[in-house]
Amino acid sequence: MAYKSRKEQIRKAFLTSLPVMAGYVILGIGFGILLAEKGYGVLWAFAMSLFVYAGSLQYAGVSMIESGVSLITCAMTSIMINARHLFYSISMIDKYKGSGKYKPYLIFSLTDETYSLLSDGSVPEGCAPSFYRFMVSLFNHSYWVAGSVMGSLLAEALPFSAKGIEFSMTALFVSSFSEQWYTSKDHTSALCGLVSSFLCLMIFGADDFLIPSMALIMLEMMILAGRRK
Amino acid sequence: MNRAALLIAVMALCTVALRALPFLFMPEKKETPELIVFLGEHLPPAMIAMLCVYCLRSTDLKGPSHGIPELISVIAVCLLQKWKHSSLISVGGGTLLYMILIRILL
């Protein structure tokens, strides 16, 4: 199969990544401001967004840096907050096969948002899967880094009239959820995820429901997989 | 400052370890086990559902707007997605609607 030109593939990847742009820039700015207020300037924001590249952990990280927690506490917190990434990777093992030189970066940059763009495995016509996924991941990463740097530089000078734009992250996940819903006949796993996490939210509360939700979803997946055999 | 750099390094290492671990256990050459193929197919909708709940977890139903902007905007995103199948339109439209609603209803 003949692929389109590199430029055309990059354009396609850019279009796919656009819905993430607003959210990442805004959340990045928020993070940059927060970090700058604790006395860590633009280089810190840049380095952290470049190397850690995990939104919610970086927000939590600001307070960990401020209070100077132990390395063990920091590691535990990081693992707890980001445990869900294990599951993203598990579900991408097959799709990322054969990505060659792009694979390490694809794995490193598999954030919530990148996952929601790429997890259904589809690739626009005429795009080489691994190159296209690499470009989508790279665009997202660059929005995040750019936002953090901007936030750090602007710090307090920013007029925060953009209140509510953080909803774009919610909207992004809702749109990929509904797209998967409309395009598939079997809604079992979507419902499993929805009901389990809602149930866990009711039982464990907003701060502690992620880990139990993941455990419950995994249990249900095992049961579903077993029943299929 | 050195402490901060160390903490950032720990965060970065833990995050990349979590992302890489499943791939390290499943090298390219090995055929993907049936269970992993199954999870690759069925886990994403469940995980994304969880992320939706996660994003809405702190919606204050007893607050001044009773979570109505969230509810309306989420429905709008679903409808836009059904209509156009473009996440750019549904994310953009839903977010704009939300920003208007919180200004009207608060």
pLDDT (tens digit per residue) in B87-102 = 888 988 998 999 999 9
Considering only residues A176 and B12, tell me which one the structure prediction assigns the higher pLDDT.
B12
Chain A CA closest to residue B33: A94
Which residue type does B52 have? C
Closest Cα in chain B, distance from residue A155 (Å):
20
C-alpha neighbours within 13 Å on the C-beta side of residue A206: 7
In Å, what is the CA distance from A206 to each residue of A42, A44, A82, A88, B36? 32, 30, 16, 21, 30
> What is the pLDDT averaged over residues B47-59?
89
Distance from C-alpha of A13 to C-alpha of A222, rounded to nearest angstrom? 34
Domain range annotation of chain A:
6-164
**Residue B1 confidence (pLDDT):** 66
Distance from C-alpha of B77 to C-alpha of A181, rounded to nearest angstrom? 13
CB contact (8 A) between residue B95 and residue A165: yes
Of the ranges A38-42, A76-80, A102-106, which one carries the lowest mean pLDDT score? Answer: A76-80
Quote the percentage of chain A above a pLDDT of 90.
Answer: 59
Tell me which residue in B4, B20, B46 faces A65 most closely, judged by beta carbons.
B4
Which residue type does A34 have? L
CB contact (8 A) between residue A52 and residue B15: yes
**Residue A183 confidence (pLDDT):** 87
Chain B CA closest to residue A55: B15
Quick one: pLDDT band at residue A229, thresholds 50, 70, 90? low
Residue A123 has pLDDT above 90, yes or no: yes
Task: With H, G, I as helix, E, B as strand and everything else as coil, classify residue B7.
Answer: helix
> What is the pLDDT averaged over residues A102-128?
94
CB contact (8 A) between residue B47 and residue A119: yes
**Residue A90 confidence (pLDDT):** 92
Quick one: pLDDT band at residue A53, thresholds 50, 70, 90? very high
pLDDT (tens digit per residue) in A159-179 = 555 677 778 888 988 998 998
